[in-house]
Amino acid sequence: MLITDQTSRRRIPTTADMVSRMCGIAASVLKNGDVGPVLFDCLKKLEYRGYDSVGEASIIDGKIIVKKDKGKISEVERELHISDLRGNVGIGHTRWATHGAPSRENAHPHTDCTDTVAVVHNGIVENFMQLKQELEAKGHKFKSRTDTEVVAHLVEENLRNGRSFAEAVRLAANKLTGAYALAFICTSEPDKVVCVRKESPLVIGTAANGNFCASDIPAFLSRTNQAILLEDNEMAILTADQVRIVQIETGEAVNRKPFTVEWSIETALKTGFPHFMLKEIHEQPMTVRNALRTHPIYMDLMASAINKAKKVFLVACGTSYHACLGGAYAFSNLAKAEVTPVVASEFIDGHGALVDGDTVVLVVSQSGETADTLSAVRGAKDRGATILGISNTMGSTLTRLSDVYIGQNSGPEMGVAATKTFTAQLSVLIKLAVVLARKREFLRKSELETIEAGFQQLPNWISTVLSTQQDSVRRIVERYSDRSSLCFLGRGMSVATALEGRLKLLELSYLPAIAYPAGESKHGFISVVEEGYPVIFVAPRDESYSKIIGNVMEMKARGAKIISIVDEKDGEVARLSDDVIVVPPGVPSMLTPIVFVLPLQLFAYYMSVGKGYDPDFPRNLAKSVTVH
């Protein structure tokens, strides 16, 4: 599928052409036996990550043999018999982030011009366009549109210059920017797998009959429970009886011993967390970073479309709608753009009469398959609107119906309640608002710099909240676990945070929780408040701070118990509160929901677990709501 810039009709690669972020990697070097069945088994264990193409490569009689295609593992097995692949060194891959028509060419492994090297990849090579141009100028011929293939050609260049396999990979890795876990085989040293890690996960398994590397421990756990975690900026050279780890930058040796994995496969899938929801909450430093990596081309295309439009709507359901509320606030405050957020099920009835060829509808959906959202999209398309999509699912109906789409790259979300996908959607929307603001030249340099620096800091802030506040949130939940209702209040950007905190609590612990813009609370809700009623305030020290102090006092005066989420340097709100959860200071106002929502996700999680419910599977809810 092509995404075409509407104005110049120039062809640009789709996001899916370029990335395959949440893919699964497996590689193996065996003393005895063929890798085909081993890799097949490893890939089956990685199926839970979600994928649409599968491939394996090995070395047989000095030649690289690749078997790959689109489809499920069982389908590709039926067609190509990947489990029959011979040879004792091989790499395998499940590719996820592809669009409606995944292709054999874009499936991994990828090879160089001479079929000397094969590579599989999980991540994104951000500078691949520039590298590809340089390689093409040197005569390299490309067979796919992936970012990954440039890596095979870079290694080929280095081999041609007389480097060893490992050194050729190391020098190639030093040229890459972005995130990657890569595994290679090479015909000039057919007894090795070389693998590299920067920001994408990669784990090594050591066994009596050989060694493995994979995206996740479950891939090899049935064969060995001895694992070594590769750290960022490290690479490993695997032979059947040795694992050598070195720093990518310097080539310096790293000494690391295997540890024993005590988990069952089930626990390993949750990487040791008791529930997928908690695992996904903890993935947010990475998923927010991934979301912010969206290629500037797509951001720019979307911002241009919004800039030209006469009317702009932000349309979604549930948690995605809450992300739209935050997004709309950012569009208005940063880029002075009027963007109307509307719940998808109300969109055509309430706003259809306004939708025409001058309208842009920016649609947000984790699954890309929500029936109400798709109805709104179809209704808007029929009226001539331009559809911009943000989704976590490449190839979903939303991405197929969109004129331009962006993948939020959060990886599959297994917990029914959306957590990591909310913060990723917000990250994309706020970044888009910043791109539009730049285009419109509305932001002062200092404001832009503060937000850009904030984007960089977000993963650290998220890690800090998760590592320092989890226990205190659990203790606070214990104190309020007998209440039959709670209320969440926030102002400005924090209205979205409060609504999302309420939705999480409501759907996971079945409590009829309430959420309001704090200023609105005195127009009705306040009558509910009596002695001991818990009110959670989302209170960053932003432009709404002085007003929220007044709202806290109103609630306190009526006997409410105040739980506040404040920044570490807070004085007044913290002083008025019965329970305080702190986040790091200095989060720019527009980015606060991404940090302040984390304690609320944990709050809902612990409330659900405390009541004996399963937070991964709340009653009556489906991950993707495909009915109206």
- Residues with a known catalytic role: 23, 623
> Would you list the DSSP string of 496-519?
HHHHHHHHHHHHHH----EEEEGG
β 386-391/404-407 pair status: parallel
| End-to-end Cα spacing for the chain | 29
Candidate segments 51-59, 89-97, 361-369, 546-554, binder of ligand F6R by CB under 6 A: 361-369
Nearest distance from C-beta of residue 432 to ligand F6R, angstroms: 17
Q: Is 625 in the site for ligand F6R (CB under 6 A)?
A: yes
| Site membership for ligand F6R, residue 200 (CB under 6 A) | no
- Gap between the Cα atoms of 12 and 365, Å rounded: 23
Q: By C-beta, is 155 or 324 nearer to ligand F6R?
A: 324
User: How much helix, strand and coil, in percent to the nearest 5, is found in the chain?
Assistant: 40, 25, 35
Token match 């990475």: residue? 286
Q: How far is the CB of 417 from ligand F6R (least distance, A)?
A: 4
b/e burial code for range 201-231 (CB count within 10 A of at least 16 → b): bbbbbbbebbbbbbbbbbbbbebbbbbbebe
Judged by CB under 6 A, the residue of 224, 367, 410, 577 near ligand F6R is 367
**CA atoms of 272 and 266, how far apart (whole Å):** 9
Residue closer to ligand F6R, measured from CB, 146 or 365: 365
Draw the binding track, 507-526, toward ligand F6R (x: CB under 6 A; -: no contact).
x-------------------
Site mask, ligand F6R, residues 371-410, x = CB under 6 A? Answer: --x-------------------------------------
Q: Does 127 bind ligand F6R (CB under 6 A)?
A: no
28 forms part of the interface with ligand F6R (CB under 6 A)? no
Tokens matching residue 259: 């540890």
Q: Which residues 6+ apart lie within 8 Å of 572 measured at CB?
A: 549
- Closer residue to ligand F6R (CB): 418 or 607: 418
- In the region spanning residues 131 to 150, those forming contacts with ligand F6R, defined by CB under 6 A, are none
Q: Decide whether 419 or 521 has the Cβ nearer to ligand F6R.
A: 419
366 is a site residue for ligand F6R (CB under 6 A): yes
CB 58 within 8 A of CB 87: yes
Question: By CB under 6 A, is residue 370 in contact with ligand F6R?
Answer: yes
Q: How far is the CB of 622 from ligand F6R (least distance, A)?
A: 8
Please answer whether residues 403 and 305 qualify as being in contact, where contact means their C-beta atoms are separated by less than 8 angstroms. Answer: yes
**CA 334 vs CA 293, 327, 437, 448: distances in Å:** 20, 10, 6, 9
Query: Considering only residues 294-323, where is the footprint of ligand F6R by CB under 6 A?
Result: 317-320
Q: Name residue, tokens 């226990």.
A: 471
Between 238 and 536, name the residue whose CB sits nearer to ligand F6R.
536
- Say whether residue 555 binds ligand F6R (CB under 6 A): no
In this complex, which beta carbon is closest to ligand F6R, that of residue 574 or of residue 600?
A: 600
Per-residue tokens: 423? 């913060």
What is the nearest approach in angstroms of ligand F6R to the Cβ of residue 353? Answer: 24
Task: Go through the chain and tell me how many residues it has.
Answer: 628
| Cα separations in angstroms, 482 against 325, 406, 607 | 31, 43, 10
List residues near ligand F6R by CB under 6 A.
317-320, 365-367, 370, 373, 417-418, 503, 507, 624-625
